[in-house]
Structures are given as C-alpha cells and as structure tokens.
Amino acid sequence: MASHSDVHALPGFVAMDALSVLRGGRRGASVQITDGYLAGQRTVLEAVDPPISTDDRSAICRESRRICEDIHIDIDTLTEGNLREASVRFRRLLQRLPEVSYLERHYPETCFVVPEWVRTPGEVRYGARVYFFADDAPDPESVMDENIRAVTDESPESFERYQGSLHGYPECCIDFYAGATRSPETDPESQSIAPLEERVRDDRLERGSPLSWSFDEVLRGFFDDPQSYAFFAHEFYPEPGCETARRRGVEIYETLAGALPEPLVRDYFRFNFGWSYLMAKAVRDGADETPEPGRFGREHALLYLPLRIVLELY
Ligand SMILES: [Zn+2]
C-alpha cells in the first residue's frame, strides 16, 4: 500500500489529498495552480527558520509564477471550436510550468494539468488545475471537453457534477453543491460550514498576524462535532449534516492515520475546514482571491511545505 514516502515531496495538503487517492479513499484529487498557491508557498518556505533545503521549491514557484503572469489567452468568439483550440494551446504552456513538472515527477500514478474555464457574467476566466488519480483516471481530453461544453452551454452545474465525481465526493453532496441556488443567503459554501462556524474564533483571525495562532486557538473543540470528519478533502463542501460524507471522512481519517502521525491527520481535516470557511466568507464578500497560506492559523501555512518537512515538524 502507498506510504507517505510516495508523495513526500508534494506540498503537505496536496500530498495528503493524493495519499488518500493512492490508498483507495477517493477516486481523484486536484489542486488549482493559482497565484496564491505559488506566491504563498514561497512566502512560507522563506519564513521557515532555519532555512530548509528543498531542491529549490522557492525557485520553482517563482519561475512558474513569472511564466503564468506572461500567459494571456484571447478568444474572439465563444464557440466550442475556439475554446478547444485555445485549450490545446494553453495546455502546452501549462505543461511547461516548472511547478507542473515537479508535481508530475513526484506523484507515482496518473498526474496531469488541464486548463480550467469558468464563465462569469461578461467574461470567461481561465486557470489551471493539476489532477491526481490512481487506477481510475480519465484522460485529460475528456476533462477539457466536459469543461468546454459546460462553458459553451452555460451549464456550470454539469461541470461541477462531473468534477465532483472525479474527486470521489458522495453523490448527495454533489447534488447539494451543484444544485444549490446561488444567492448571498443560500450559497452552498456558507451552508456547508454553518454547522461548525461557531467553533471558529473569528476575532483571532481578524486580529494581528494569523501565524501567531495555532489551530487549537482558532478552532474550539472541532472534533467534538462528528460533522468535522466530513471535511476529508481540500476544496470540498459537504452537505450540512451529511452522514455519508461523515462516514467517508472517518474512513479517510483512518486510512491516513495508518500512514501519517495522527496529529498531522487531525490538522489536515482542520486545514480543509479552514479553507472552506475562508472561501465561504470570500464568496459572501464577492472576493476573487483564494485564501493566502496562514490566514487560518499557523498550521494552515505549515501544510504548504513539502510533506517530508512537515513530517519533521510533527
Ligand atoms: Zn452528502
């Protein structure tokens, strides 16, 4: 069975997502390559004292960020053909990103990058997502096709459902997320975190440097609520009170605890919840930025370091 040494070069939270895939807990996992992801890792790597030798993760992130800033994709008219042609071109550029090569090189099974298009009122935004699969991998072209079709048909819901199945989320939670009516009062992100929201010491997150607080200080009694186990994946929004998600989470918790120190597994669940909590706030505030590492406390920053370094700290 896969062990932590199979993924120990990956950033901590990505490594744990990937390890739960390798150990059969989920179909797939993914991470978005955003400016926050690249810039944030550099910040965390450079903040560690004493400095760590990491086959120059900082340089890989810096160079990838520089290349990303230079990528500009123009599409004249939004047709399936144009979008497909742009996807192929864009994917070739993304495959050359040092960060993408790094992730591919350090994951033992199927790993690939694809462009990701999101249609918003007035524009089509683009980004990049790296996927990790084990024995049930789709080919990259089908992922791109599903995305392109959802954009041209203006049916984001169909791509959300498809992505949910790629990530091995419970069917009921996919329905909850993709089928939700989006308004400031009903967005699924806020509903998902609501049962655990009161456990967050928001005053501490707002005040001073977030790095000065540990998870224990910003999240009170997280595991006292069984629903905490539903946060078994990065970027997952379980349906509130969902028993299937909770059970799946307990299985993944146990699988990961068979390969990693338990305090680290606990922090991974708190990290996932923290991310969803911050994203729910960002959605409510209409912000486009993803949360910077450390916004939810010290361990939120530490889990951006390569897993083998994280392991030395635990
Ligand atoms: Zn569910």
Q: In the predicted model, is pLDDT for residue 85 greater than 80?
A: yes
Encode pLDDT of 110-146 as tens digits. Answer: 999 999 999 887 788 899 999 999 999 999 999 999 9
Q: How far is the CA of 250 from the centre of ligand 1 (A)?
A: 14
Residues recorded for the chain: 314
With cut-offs at 50, 70 and 90, classify the pLDDT of residue 193. very high
What is the residue range of 206's domain? 4-313
Residue 114 has what pLDDT? 98
Residue 209 has what pLDDT? 75
Q: How far is the CA of 165 from the centre of ligand 1 (A)?
A: 13
Q: How far is the CA of 26 from the centre of ligand 1 (A)?
A: 14
Residue 204 has what pLDDT? 87
Share of the chain above pLDDT 70, in %: 97
Q: How far is the CA of 44 from the centre of ligand 1 (A)?
A: 34
Q: How far is the CA of 16 from the centre of ligand 1 (A)?
A: 21
Q: How far is the CA of 170 from the centre of ligand 1 (A)?
A: 5
Q: How far is the CA of 51 from the centre of ligand 1 (A)?
A: 43
Q: How far is the CA of 213 from the centre of ligand 1 (A)?
A: 31
Q: How far is the CA of 137 from the centre of ligand 1 (A)?
A: 23
Provide the domain count of the chain: 1
Average pLDDT (208-216) is: 83
Q: How far is the CA of 232 from the centre of ligand 1 (A)?
A: 12
Q: How far is the CA of 3 from the centre of ligand 1 (A)?
A: 28
What gap in Å lies between CA 294 and CA 211, rounded to an integer? Answer: 6
With cut-offs at 50, 70 and 90, classify the pLDDT of residue 46. confident
Q: How far is the CA of 243 from the centre of ligand 1 (A)?
A: 7
Residues with CB under 5 A from ligand 1 (ion): 170, 172-173, 239, 242, 244-245
Sign of the four-CA dihedral 194, 126, 164, 253:
negative
Encode pLDDT of 246-276 as tens digits. Answer: 999 999 999 999 999 999 999 999 999 999 9
Q: How far is the CA of 125 from the centre of ligand 1 (A)?
A: 29
Residue environment code for 166-200, b if the CB has 16+ CB neighbours within 10 A, otherwise e: bbbbbeebbebbbebeeeeeebbbbbbbeebeebb
The burial of 122, by beta-carbon neighbours within 10 Å (0-12 exposed, 13-18 middle, 19 or more buried), is given as exposed
Token duo for residue 166: 């790629």
Q: How far is the CA of 180 from the centre of ligand 1 (A)?
A: 13
For the chain, give the mean pLDDT.
92
Q: Are 64 and 70 in contact (CB under 8 A)?
A: no
Helix (H) or strand (E) holding 114: strand 110-120
Q: How far is the CA of 238 from the centre of ligand 1 (A)?
A: 6
